[in-house]
Amino acid sequence: MPNPSHFQDENLLLSNFYQEVWIVCPSCSKKAMATVNDETKTARMFCTHCGLNKETAAAIDKNATIEMPANQYFQAELWLQIPFKNEVFWVYNDKHMAYLERYISATIREHKDRTHFTLLEKLPKFYHEAKNREGLMKIIVKLKCK
């Protein structure tokens, strides 16, 4: 049985979470969604609270690579963000948060070969520090209830 506080790096990239971003609705300030569809090459922003629905062309290259997070097409603010000390803890969506939660809560962190491209390697220092573990976990709990 794997130890629950054991984290194995999946070498995910930040771009793995670009496709669906939780945002603050620009018209009603509630939780809305921005998505990128790599087949239709469109970005969409929609809100189930007020009915906002916008679509625009997305920059997607021939390898179906999504070049920027969905929220950036609409300059929309991230829903999942909270200030932490002089920094800001933020994530694009629930899956991104779950990945960081597993990393932050782990007391044993196993990394594969360093590539300098993974999202964990690119995280600012405060995410990695053991002394911040408890504070960051509190933020994650708050964001889950948001």
CB of 53 to Zn ion, least distance (A): 10
13-27 as b/e: b if 16+ CB within 10 A: ebebbbbbbbbbbbe
* Of 5 and 27, CB closest to Zn ion: 27
Note the residues at the interface with Zn ion (CB under 5 A).
25, 27-28, 47, 49-50, 52
* Of 7 and 22, CB closest to Zn ion: 22
Query: Taking a C-beta distance cutoff of 8 angstroms, is the pair 70, 48 a contact?
Result: no
* Of 79 and 103, CB closest to Zn ion: 79
CB of 102 to Zn ion, least distance (A): 31
* Of 33 and 66, CB closest to Zn ion: 33
CB of 133 to Zn ion, least distance (A): 35
CB of 20 to Zn ion, least distance (A): 17
Token pair, residue 22, equals 């939780």
Burial category of 136 from C-beta neighbours within 10 Å (exposed 0-12, middle 13-18, buried 19 and up): buried
Instruction: Name which of 85, 64, 54, 66 is nearest 18 in CA terms.
Output: 66
